[in-house]
Structures are given as structure tokens and as C-alpha cells.
Amino acid sequence: MAFVLPNLPYAPDALEPYVDTTTMTIHHGKHHATYVNNVNAALEKFPEMKSLGIVDLNKAVGTDAIPKEIATTVRNNGGGHFNHSFFWKVMTKPSNSNGPSAELKAAIDKAFGSMEAMKEKFNAAAAGRFGSGWAWLGVKADGSLGITSTANQDNPLQQVADEKMIPILGLDVWEHAYYLKYQNRRPEYIAAFWNIVNWEQVNDNFKAASGGGMPAL
């Protein structure tokens, strides 16, 4: 079955003033749509792979399960489809952004010392990613929280990732995600992101990941 572009879970202007309407419209309707179209085109050549969902497809990146002929296309575009499907859901209107659950807050405190310390480490991962990529907060194999960054459209589910984990929060730091509003001021964009984090979704992601499951896309 072919992948489809998911609808945004809010109006394109819902994240104003932190993410502008034009960026959201182009980011979702152009960039994400292109990833979907490209991964579908690649999988047309190998119909036996069409039964894989987007999570399993990403978990297979970096393994022999992906034919060499389409390995790069799947990595870039299958990664882009997962990453953006995940990203839209971890953001919400500023007034709807509440905070982590008691369970997630306790895990954050245990792993990083405090919420502010976690944000500082996450922000550093996002700001320090050279070129295009992502920053992630996730649950590692031992059940603890970790922070990592990935290049381009890689993510910590893929075998190519430096540090593997189940993501519960992610931030896109490709220039197309912020340049119309923030130009070269990536740290300003990163700081603004915390005003629109959908903590209810992140809490659900944490609960699923802590049980070994995957966040719902």
C-alpha cells in the first residue's frame, strides 16, 4: 500500500507567531509531500516491500532488507516521511502546550537533572547539528532517556544512527523549517519551539516507548 501525506493536526496558522503560516504550508504541502512521492516511487520497483509500514521501513534502513538500488532513496525519503509525520504531532497551539506528565518529568530529572538541563542539552544538539538534520529526545534500550541528533532525514530508529532510541520528541533543523522567519538565527527558532511542544503527545509517546512500543503517527 502506498504511503499518503497525512493532514496537519491543526490549521497552518495555528503555531503563529513561533512558526509562520507560509513556512508551515510549504513545509507540509511541498517538502513532506515530495518525500512521500519519492519513497512511493522507489518502492514501486520492489512491490514485496510495500507491506512494510513507515516504522518498519525506517528500522530496516542500513540493513540488507533494503535493496541497494533504492537504499539511499528510502533512507532519505522514507526517513523524511517518518520524521515529518512524527514532527507535526509533537507541536500544538501555544495555548495548548502544558508540560510533561509526572512520569516523564521524573524520567527527565533522573536522566538530566532537571527540565532546564534537558532543554539545554536538546538545544545544544539542535544548534550543533552542522548543516541539515534533527534533534531528538528518546527512550534508549535500557529504558532511560537520551538526546541525540541525526543528519539529513536520518532518525534514531535507523541502523545508521549513531545512537539508537525510540523518539518521543523531535525538532527539524533543516533551513526550510525556519529560514523564512528566522533566517540564520537557528538558536532563536530552537528556543521558540518550546512554546509549541505538544506535551500531551510527548507524554503518550513516552508511555508507548517505555513499554517497548512506538509512538502513533
Cell triple for 7: 493532514
31 is in an annotated binding site: no
32 is in an annotated binding site: no
User: How far is 163 from 182, CA to CA, in rounded Å?
Assistant: 29
* Torsion sign (Cα): 67, 69, 70, 75: positive
64 is in an annotated binding site: no
User: How far is 65 from 67, CA to CA, in rounded Å?
Assistant: 6
| DSSP annotation string for 29-84 | IIIIHHHHHHHHHHHTT-GGGTTS-HHHHHHHTTSTTS-HHHHHHIIIIIHHHHHH
Q: Which phi and psi (to 5°) does residue 194 adopt?
A: -65, -15
Q: Whose CA is closest to 40, among 7, 86, 63, 73? A: 73
Q: Say which residues have a Cβ less than 8 Å from residue 86's Cβ, sequence separation at least 6.
A: 155, 167, 170, 215, 217
User: How far is 124 from 17, CA to CA, in rounded Å?
Assistant: 23
84 is in an annotated binding site: yes
DSSP state of 177: G
Instruction: Output the known binding site for Mn(2+).
Output: 27, 84, 172, 176
Instruction: Output the known binding site.
Output: 27, 84, 172, 176
